[in-house]
Chain A
Amino acid sequence: MTATLTPPKPITSGKDPRFAPTLYAHVGQDQSWTLAYYRQHGGYQAVTRAFAIGNDAVIDEVKKSGLRGRGGAGFATGLKWSFMPLNDGKPHYIICNADESEPGSFKDRYLLSEDPHQLIEGMIIAAFAMRASVGYIYIRGEYVHAAERIWAAIHEARDAGLLGQNILGSGFDFQIHLHRGAGAYICGEETALMNSLEGLRANPRLKPPFPAAAGLYGLPTTINNVETFCAATQILKFGPDWHAGMGTEKSKGMKLFQISGPVARPGVYELPLGTTFRELIFDWAGGPLEEIKAVIPGGSSCPMLPYDDKTLDTPMDYEAIAAAGSMLGTGGVTLIPKADCIVNATWNMVRFYAHESCGKCTPCREGISSWMVRMYEKQVRGHGQPGDVQLILDMSENIGGRSFCALADACLGPVLSSIKLFREEYDALANTQTPLYGPRKRWKEA
């Protein structure tokens, strides 16, 4: 029972034939969301194994696997789990962050709707490891279909004795509840999420205390992304070495990369960390449909990179993208066409962050939500003035690193990178009020 299963046949990548998709292995299959299907395909064996090896061993395996959080920050998951107090006699919580709101990210939605049991299994494993008795899945309010699938899956699991008292005879009790958000990007930030779950305004909380010490309802809590929990299921299924054998030195395992923008086959691709942008864009996504000038590597808050050979040959892992001046983030890659005005595109993102600012702290509420967005509006409406770009840069300096949470910094990702890469487009708008790339028709038949 404790032996790890034989990993699936290594196929798919033309570059490196050792890797096989597991997280998305069943996404899109008929009935993949049902317990029957899941069981037929080896489901709930990982949790059985977890119960057999014991909770501390589970944390050790996750540590050994090298798994890092897939929600954006890339914090080592096993280490995070080990922060939870061991025998403090208090109830512990785990929360699945299914708020997926970072523009350009859409991997979790399919995991939730197509393979909900994989997530539930991962959460049982995590709860077991961290001695949690209740788990919440905080799903963004707009994911109605996914919420229904999760809802149904929770009930199936309860009925099958996979949730509730004495799960699979292990003596371990655990319950999962679904909590739906209602449209606020900030709820992805873990402390804001906890406030939202408590029925409060979703403002981020002070840290310390960190969630592992005082989280939901003031009790020890650990929050992980959907993909992180799913990866934990696979790690417990195939063993830490299998997972650690994939990816690069510090970025282990498979990652769900998403690609959007003008490419032949936009979508989600499960690839090993360290796969290059070139392979994702050309080999998997079928290549760009038009001339591209910039790549957003991991969701809109990650600074954009120039579309050139250097970027294309950059391996998509935490370290290499950081070295290139950006972040892996959620792995949501977006291509920005050459013919689109970069200021306009950036305005769209700034507008997003301005709309999503929670309003708690001054630099974000006033700097981003009131001022920055209007500076951009001014440019794209053709009212730019010389000096505007310099002002945007100086404002950014006064915002960056001064805000309460990372949302304001997230907005500066596209701002600063686009100015750095495409200053001439900004200058053209500020000085001549005319964009280098004017409006064009974008709404077309496929």
Chain B
Amino acid sequence: MKVTIDGVQVELPAGTSAIDAVFHAGQDVPFFCAHSYLSPVGACRMCLIESGSPRKNPDGSFVMEGEGDAATPKIFWFPKPMASCTMQATEGMHIRTAATSDVVAKAQAGMMEFTLLNHPLDCPTCDKGGACELQDRAFEYGYGASRFGFDRRHADKHYPLSDFVILDQERCIHCKRCVRYFEEVPGQEVLDFIERGGHTFIDTEEGGLPTGFQGNITDICPVGALLDNVARFRGRNWEYDHTPTTCTLCPAGCSITADARNGRLERVVARENRDVNEAWICDAGRFGHVFASEARLTKPLIRVNGELVETGWDEAIAAIRAGLGGMNTADLALFLHADSTLEEGAALEALAALTGTNSVDHWPRYPAEVLSNATLNDIATADAVVVLGADLGAEAPIVELRVLEMLRGGILPPEYAHGTAIADLRLVERPARKPEKLAVIGSASRLSGNAGTFVEAANVDLLTLIRPDSEGARAALNLLNSAKNPVLILGADVLNGASAGAFATQLSDLVSRTGAKVMAIPAAANSRGLAHLNLVPRSGGQGYAAVNHTRAAFISRLDPVATGQRPSGFTIVHDTHLTATAQAADVVLPAVTNYEKRGTTVNVEGRLLPLQQAALNAGEAADLTRTLAALAEALGLRTRIRGLKSAQALLQTRLGVDVTDLPEAGAIRPLGPVYTAPTGQVHRPQLWTERMTLKPDSWKATWVDRIESLVENKWELPMAGSSLAGGDD
């Protein structure tokens, strides 16, 4: 299909919207209500263009203009400007933007004047300033002055929609993105316009927005009306260091931007990744970052006269050497958190080879490693999904969103020269949902409420599906059997019981019978990547479950004491905070969070995703790779792995991947065989952890419970009092 924009002819696939035609051709129109992942509605009327099309004679030939060979199809222009976001470009269409049409330029300037009519002039104190679509577009397309001359609308400027999201009603330009987001993406009718005409405002009647995915509205609000309350007044957009990285709170591996200022992580926002999280992240990923800047360990600690005292790395190394003096290096167990990077895992594997220890483990993980072959886009575009034994809201929330996307048709917006389609005309408001395409077996969860078939069962395993003994389970199996592209999602309740042999047989049986692709949700952010390294107890060695029986242990970012296991021997803890385990340790080494690391993580799909280092103040904290090098020094061993580069070189030989060469959106690469071993304990996924404490001292005990209860009871979010601290904006 050929379309001509401001005289430039481009070739486009059928179905392209006029706004995408314009951007594809390298031209520009302003827009506020359109959003790539939401239905186009044509409400803001900013994206006006002039358009015209050729017409055909009754005999099928074009109505021509001009003489002889110079004749071209005559373009019949629409008498008025049209909203390009809701108009489909058609063969032979001509489009004029403000660049070539005075009518369009005037129309857009006039529309901008209307948009700004009731908008307060508080850009200087607005958190959105510097990253505000309205501010930018007003510069480019506005008159520069308003002729309004009346009082602007006055409304509540500090109206909390929940503990996390605050609404400034005066700033709202009624683009309806937030309302459409809730209706179309998580499928919750919790926010809508109230009143009509010039009195319209948004509000919720649910006592607060539900925790889960609410924070996304702060990203998509084109003005500063919906703001992240955790980050509110923490900095101006141009003061932040923006670090594009990957969230490692769960194995979904969403692309995020970490915004830091003065060494503190102040805000996390979603970054588009068409394959993983599209444009969304969960609330834990967005708001649960506060721990990274609160009560951090910045220096090593050693125990002197029974007390932990701050010291330097050299002294800490000396203390380790003294503490382990006379012990066989093979007696030092090495345990790391399964959200550590591949690089860190490789470094630990290498060190274990040097020390000769058989007691190596990473946690959390499951006894068997089920490598998923379904991608997140496979889920979104599946025609049936069965979820077995998973609470996706706690295990991998974005997977839940992608399942919901499947229920509403799984339409993935196409890509053009400028990126993802701005207006995908196939997306419609209030899309019809097909709950019959989803079956959930397991405990009740947010997702089970959306399923056509829900079998409530406390104990589930693959046999529940293979030999169904209930109506619902039969229906679920049937769903898998009759679908063309079914996906089976397995969660903790199944995977905890996955003993190596039988489980694999059962699963391959099920897969071969139904043709389903499988997505097993790993226990932690990088469990799937670390499984390819030999980081499980070898014969004669002790696993993490036996941490209280080790003679000496090095524990990186795990807190066994908190779960009732007290390491028995000499203990070295590598952590970001003074955890219960750290408090009981002999030596504590300060660690960096995953926001401050470079490295590679592997998500639920097997997609290698890069971590980048945000500029946070962490004193002398070090990542695991460098910490292990120090440990090796203390042990009197020489390790080849001294930092990121050498670890990445090792990965190249170990796994056959060049992680320095990953596209920004990550890539799925084969990583070879996996190592499994019994775990000796059960993993209970919990998304919000104590580490996400908002105010470490006062909230510590209650915060996790509070979030858990918010997530579970979905709607009930007590609102913060209206006397929220607020600036003068």
Contact = CB atoms under 8 A, between A and B. Distances in A.
A359 B174 contact: yes
A219 B593 CA distance: 54
B198 A362 contact: no
A395 B153 CA distance: 19
A201 B195 contact: no
A348 interface: no
A394 B176 CA distance: 27
Given A356-B197, A359-B196, A370 B118 contact: yes
A359 B118 CA distance: 13
Q: Which size bracket describes the interface of B in this complex?
A: 35 or more
Contact of B196 (A184, A366, A367, A394): A184
Interface in A329-372: 354-367, 369-371
Contact of A362 (B115, B150, B195, B196): B115
Contact of B111 (A200, A359, A362): A362
B197 A362 contact: no
B405 to A, nearest CB: 20
B46 interface: yes
A181 B69 CA distance: 60
Contacts of A391: 147
A357 B198 contact: yes
A358 B196 contact: yes
Interface in B100-116: 106-107, 110-111, 113-115
Contacts of B198: 354, 357, 359, 365-366, 369-370
Interface string B40-52: 1111111010000
B199 interface: yes
Contacts of A206: 40-42, 86
A358 B197 contact: yes
B511 interface: no
A374 interface: yes
A359 B46 contact: no
A357 B196 contact: yes
Contacts of A371: 114, 117, 148, 150
B205 to A, nearest CB: 14
B86 A361 contact: no
A90 B46 CA distance: 37
B192 A201 contact: yes
Contact of A357 (B111, B114, B197): B197
A403 interface: yes
A76 to B, nearest CB: 20
Contacts of A205: 429
B267 to A, nearest CB: 29
Q: Which size bracket describes the interface of A in this complex?
A: 35 or more
Contacts of B478: none
Contacts of B114: 362-363, 366-367, 371, 398-399
Given A398-B111, A398-B114, A401-B79, A363 B193 contact: no
Contacts of A398: 106-107, 110-111, 113-114
A249 interface: no
Contacts of B153: 370
B638 interface: no
Secondary structure at the A interface, as helix, strand, loop or mixed, is: helix
A251 B42 CA distance: 34
Nearest to B151: A374
Nearest to A358: B196
B661 to A, nearest CB: 45
B141 to A, nearest CB: 13
Interface in A393-435: 394-395, 397-404
Contacts of B45: 361-363, 402-404
A363 B111 contact: yes
Interface string A140-161: 0000000000000000000000
Contacts of B148: 371
Interface in B430-462: 430, 432
A201 B193 contact: yes
A218 interface: yes
Contacts of B432: 218
B622 to A, nearest CB: 53
B81 A401 contact: yes
A360 B193 CA distance: 10
Secondary structure at the B interface, as helix, strand, loop or mixed, is: loop
A400 B106 CA distance: 12
A374 B176 CA distance: 25
A363 B115 CA distance: 8
A225 to B, nearest CB: 24
B681 interface: no
Contacts of B48: 402
B117 A404 contact: no
Q: Which of B48, B192, B429 has the most CB of A within 10 A?
A: B429
Contacts of B199: 359, 369
A391 B107 CA distance: 15
A365 B80 contact: no
Q: Which of A205, A354, A360, A395 has the most CB of B within 10 A?
A: A360
Nearest to A357: B197
Contacts of A362: 43-46, 111, 114-115, 173-174
A366 B193 contact: no
A361 B42 CA distance: 8
B197 A365 contact: yes
A54 B535 CA distance: 79
B361 to A, nearest CB: 55
A362 B148 CA distance: 15
A378 B174 CA distance: 26
Nearest to B147: A391
B383 to A, nearest CB: 20
Contacts of A354: 197-198
A402 B81 contact: yes
Contacts of A360: 41, 43, 174, 176
A319 to B, nearest CB: 19
Interface string B192-210: 1101111110000000000
Contacts of A200: 430
A209 B174 CA distance: 24
Contacts of A366: 114-115, 117-118, 198
B197 A397 contact: no
A355 B44 CA distance: 19
Given A218-B432, A363-B45, A402-B107, A369 B197 contact: yes
Q: Which of A358, A363, A366, A371 has the most CB of B within 10 A?
A: A366
A121 to B, nearest CB: 35
Contacts of B196: 184, 201, 357-359
Nearest to A200: B430
Nearest to B198: A369
Given A359-B199, A365-B200, A398-B107, A404 B42 contact: yes
B369 to A, nearest CB: 45
Contacts of A355: 197
Contacts of B43: 360-362, 404
A74 B332 CA distance: 88
A181 to B, nearest CB: 14
Nearest to B175: A362
B268 to A, nearest CB: 32
A184 B44 CA distance: 22
A15 B432 CA distance: 57
Contacts of A365: 174, 197-198, 200
Contacts of B46: 362
Nearest to B78: A401
10 contacts: A200-B430, A206-B40, A218-B432, A359-B196, A359-B197, A361-B44, A370-B117, A397-B110, A398-B111, A400-B80
> Which 9 residue pairs of A and B lie closest in terms of their CB atoms, listed nearest first?
A398-B110, A401-B80, A369-B198, A359-B200, A357-B197, A366-B114, A369-B197, A370-B198, A366-B117
Interface of A: 184, 200-201, 205-206, 218, 354-367, 369-371, 374, 378, 391, 394-395, 397-404
Interface of B: 40-46, 48, 79-81, 83, 86, 106-107, 110-111, 113-115, 117-118, 147-148, 150, 153, 173-174, 176, 192-193, 195-200, 429-430, 432
